[in-house]
Amino acid sequence: MSFSPRVTVVIPCRDDADFLDACLAALAVQTRPADRVVVVDNASTDASASVARSYGADVVDEPLIGIWPAAARGYDEARGSADIIARLDADSRPHPDWIAQVVRAFVADPGLGVLTGGAEFYGASPLVNYLGDHWYVGGGHYWIKKVLGIPLVFGSNFAMRVSVWERVRGQVDRTNPRIHDDLDLTIRLRPSDGVRYDPELRMPVSARPLVTQRGLWRRVWRVVPTFAASWPEGAAWRRRTNAAPGRSADAYTPDAAAWTSGDDDWTPEFGR
């Protein structure tokens, strides 16, 4: 990789204009600016697209509602303009040196393929924020590492080489809005992809999915269908190989009628 790799930040967004404004404002004052920011407008009915354009971000549309369809659309869009794809959610508020940290890590380690970090939850009580950091995200990192042998890729705070996305884009269940996109991506990765968790790479994110039992339980329960969607690729005996058979990314035929936005994990507050 060159000494100054091109970084494209991808932000999926649905009806989250206010959060997106704060996220893009934080990106605008990075010590190492992004080379490109791509906001994926996932059928928003608010001013999300206008907010994105006001900050100079490129807006691409993804009509199939869901985190995975929107995120995958953004990663595909970034392929021709980046060496590194960095991912945020609309309610992420990156510290000023976030991109600089990411770039330093990839430049220093040619074997690094995916870099992920932790969370600093905001917007709830100190107890909820603490539990979100140490139990929800921290527990996810611990148990996924136990099961898969690699760290959990945290969707609100990670970056990957374009070459990694090129390898897995046909294997992930990219049109399935019922599963965790970041966990599905993690399942398709292998140790040879160079996945690393950096506890110093912190990301302030909204605690809104943690403030109700229903919201929290829905997110925890989605771990089950996410593993089911990847079977048998996610099985331990299949993970002993570096390459897993997959499907062509262009072979998917989404059935938008089979999914309603009212059931989606990101509505009415898309992003968490």
Contact 248, 170 (CB under 8 A): yes
Each residue of 82-103: pLDDT tens digit?
999 999 999 999 999 999 999 9
pLDDT at res. 205: 87
Q: Which of 238, 199, 2, 44 is nearest to 11 (CA)?
A: 44
Rounded to whole angstroms, how far apart are CA atoms 235 and 228? 10
Each residue of 210-245: pLDDT tens digit?
554 554 445 555 665 666 776 666 665 555 554 444
Each residue of 118-139: pLDDT tens digit?
888 786 556 554 555 555 666 5
pLDDT at res. 177: 86
Domain assignment present for residue 248? The answer is no
Domain assignment present for residue 23? The answer is yes
Domain assignment present for residue 126? The answer is yes
**Of 57-66, 133-142, 164-173, 200-209, where does mean pLDDT reach its minimum?**
133-142
- Which CATH number covers residue 186? 3.90.550.10
Beta carbons within 10 angstroms of residue 140's beta carbon: 21
φ, ψ of residue 119 in degrees (nearest 5): -125, 155
* Number of domains, the chain: 1
Rounded to whole angstroms, how far apart are CA atoms 184 and 172? 6
Q: Which domain holds residue 100?
A: 7-243
Domain assignment present for residue 39? The answer is yes
Instruction: Lay out the sheet containing 158-161: strands in order across.
Output: 58-61, 36-41, 7-13, 84-87, 158-161, 114-122, 195-206
